[in-house]
Amino acid sequence: MNLATIALKSIRQRMLSSSLTALSVALGVMLMVAVLVIHGIVADMFNQRSIGYDLIVGAKGSPLQLVLNTVYRVSQPIDNLPYLFYLDLEKQPLVEHAIPFCLGDVTEQGGFPLVGTTNKYFELSYAPRRTFAIKGTVFRKSLDAIIGSHVAKENGWKIGSQFTLVHGGRDSDHVHDEKFTVAGMLAPTGTANDKTVFIHLKGFFAIAGHEKPPEEAIEQLQKFYPDDPRIQQLERSDFVDEEEEADAGAHAGHHHHALPDELKEVTAVLLRMKNDVAAIMFASQLENESPAMAVNPILPMRRLMVDIVGNVQKVLLVLTGLIIVVSGVGIFVSIYNSMSDRRREIAIMRALGASRGVVFSIILVESILLCFGGGLLGVAMGHGLVFIAAPYVELQSGILIDPLAFEMAELYLLPVLIAMASLVGFVPGLTAYRTDVARALAD
């Protein structure tokens, strides 16, 4: 009979206390595995593998706010950019692709954010080596829409479904008259695109209220083009006819009108540069020469991960680590308290020829089996917890969680548990090692 078999028999004799101590280890490991896996998923979401653009150009302000608003559709836009500025960005020699990005309004059903853009957005990869898969077609008409997978699932929309928009966000009750038609549906991407409704840029500008008032548009253009005589000479009267025509159309219940480029604006522009050096040079140039800024989306998100999310993960790992340590103490107390009841058992083993080293090893193996078994159970429970939570998290946040996701840090858990078990079992094992055979048998 080997040491492990003897240790298992000893554990079975105290099944209830042994099971509870092993379960406490399992719960601690379960929480740690869940924290590691979920943090890994969040880290992947907020790093370069989930962002397919070199620069995001927006109004000057907080880089983090610009990235959160544009890439993740949270937070409010800082300000808008002139549409003419976007057209100029397209012509820059260092820019390979410039994608307009217009945020505004939400769907009446479900309150999903609306983005006005062009077909180019779906032709380029949304992350390195990851491209959009669309069921249906891209934009063909101005009132066509392409919806994310979560939007389709939540609202039950299919190709050909029609929907309306609420102006100004979820708290508004101003519903636009236009009905948009679902032309395409995106396959799941695990990004904010899954919870977004995209419409053609022409359709976005055709909606009343999406034009900038002439006075504000002229003032903004003059800031962006201080050396352009044509821009500096613009006056409100240059657009008043168009504005009155638009108002007349709105009162007639018909919002489609030709909007001058000077009154159009975009929330941001996504840039794919020709190379990394071009991205650095262009961002620096824009910072010095324009009221806009160009942000590498990776940098503010990396700061967010390090300064906030990373610290939260450390706190959670410390707490779960303490749970595991407390569980180890529980195992120590359980085994140590049992030593007085097992003195006769140990003395008989010694009398039958077992050496002090064998007795010590049995106690040590018993501690290791409890920790190792609890650890294995905890790893299984942790991944089971992630598996069960994955559909709920996807429903609430749109984040795709791989139920089989694995973090390399998990490989260190079981060796650490074995080391802890060895420490925990040392004192009880030493007590067994020093047992006086004659006195134990006499008692």
Query: What values do phi and psi take at 189, rounded to 5?
Result: -120, -15
Q: At a CB cut-off of 8 Å and minimum separation 6, what does 135 contact? A: 159, 184, 185, 186, 187
- Strands (DSSP E) contained in 129-278 are 134-136, 144-147, 162-163, 165-166, 180-186, 197-200, 265-266, 268-273
CA pair distance 192, 71, nearest whole angstrom: 7
Query: For the CA atoms of 131, 132, 135, 141, what is the dihedral angle to 10 degrees?
Result: -130
The answer to whether 403 touches 390, Cβ cutoff 8 Å, is yes
Q: Are 393 and 399 in contact (CB under 8 A)?
A: yes
**Cβ-based neighbour number of residue 223 at 10 Å:** 13
Tell me which residue has tokens 């055709």. Answer: 206
> H helices within 298-355, ranges in order?
298-304, 310-338, 343-351
| pTM metric for this prediction | 0.71
CA count, 13 A, side-chain hemisphere, 285: 12
CA 8 – CA 305 distance, rounded (Å): 45
Name the DSSP letter for residue 213. P
User: What does residue 440 show for φ and ψ, rounded to 5 degrees?
Assistant: -65, -40
Per-residue pLDDT tens, the chain, 443 aa: give them: 577 787 788 778 778 878 888 888 888 889 888 888 877 777 766 664 557 789 999 999 889 899 888 988 877 788 899 999 999 999 999 999 999 999 988 999 988 999 999 999 999 988 878 899 999 999 999 999 999 998 999 899 999 999 999 876 655 667 888 899 999 999 988 788 988 999 999 999 988 777 888 888 889 999 999 888 888 888 777 776 544 544 544 444 444 456 788 889 999 999 999 998 999 999 998 988 889 999 998 888 777 777 777 777 778 778 878 877 887 787 777 777 766 666 666 677 767 667 777 777 887 888 888 888 888 999 999 888 888 887 777 666 556 666 677 888 888 888 888 888 888 878 777 776 666 666 655 66
Centre a 10 Å sphere on the Cβ of residue 118 and count the other Cβ atoms it contains: 17
Return d(Cα 436, Cα 389) in angstroms, integer. Answer: 54
Rounded alpha-carbon distances, angstroms, from residue 200 to 56, 121, 220, 355: 20, 11, 24, 82
Kindly state the tokens that stand for 229.
Answer: 């005589």
Q: Which amino acid is at 302?
A: R
Q: Are 68 and 309 in contact, with CB atoms under 8 Å apart?
A: no
d(CA 135, CA 286): 38
* Angle at CA of residue 264, ends 261 and 269, nearest 5°: 105
Angle (CA) 147 151 152, round 5°: 75
